[in-house]
Amino acid sequence: MDKNDEKTNVMRVLDQKKIPYRHHCYVDTGAVAGAEVAKILGEDPDKVFKTLVTVGASKRYYVFVVPVEKELDLKKAAKAVGEKNIEMIKSKELLPLTGYIHGGCSPIGMKKFFTTTIDESARNFDTIMFSAGKIGYQVELSPSDLAKVIRFEYAQITV
């Protein structure tokens, strides 16, 4: 099967809910960082987002979706979700917790839904891109269509 025809779980969820999206594929050359993904796909890196999973002082988990070239501001992120502080989860915890591996984490289709916050810069775009749940695959859709699949809030959460 051609990589362009292959469906990820994220794509199946979007298809099932009849949400319009575009998928983009790229060749995984090993450790492809988000900024490189944007460059490979010829996209504005401000429009390409990465999905980060954190844990709060309360031991609750939170998902933050930020532009690939930006850093998550842990203080702003904690404030956005009402936590005293948060920290990134360890890479080895990601797969058992979400069902995704590092570099292929998507806010759609995690094993369990976690409170999700998207950087408010996403409002500047008609569509945003993020992982389709597998390294080498991205989906592009409007934030308003994403809101039909998962619940999220917007907040200023980057450095």
Residue 12 has pLDDT above 50, yes or no: yes
- Between 34-38, 43-47, 105-109, the lowest mean confidence (pLDDT) is in 34-38
Lookup: tokens for 8: 């990820």
Domain boundaries, the chain: 9-155
Q: Pick the residue with more confidence: 35 or 156?
A: 156
Residue of 9 and 27 predicted with greater confidence: 9
Give the Cα separation of 20 and 36 in Å (integer): 25
Concatenated DSSP letters of 7-39: --HHHHHHHHTT---EEEE----SS--HHHHHH
Task: Specify the amino acid at residue 106.
Answer: S
* pLDDT average, residue stretch 129-145: 94
Q: Does domain 9-155 have CATH number 3.90.960.10?
A: yes
Question: Three-state DSSP class for 108?
Answer: coil
User: For residues 41 and 47, what is the distance between their CA atoms, to the nearest angstrom?
Assistant: 11
Paired with 137 in beta bridges are: 25
Structural contact between residues 105 and 53, judged by C-beta atoms closer than 8 angstroms? yes
Q: What is the mean pLDDT of residues 111-140?
A: 95
Phi/psi region, residue 144 (left: phi>0; alpha: psi -120 to 50; beta: rest), is: alpha
Task: State pTM to two decimals.
Answer: 0.93
CA distance 52 to 88: 8
* Cα separation values, 24 from 17, 21, 78, 128, Å: 19, 10, 32, 12
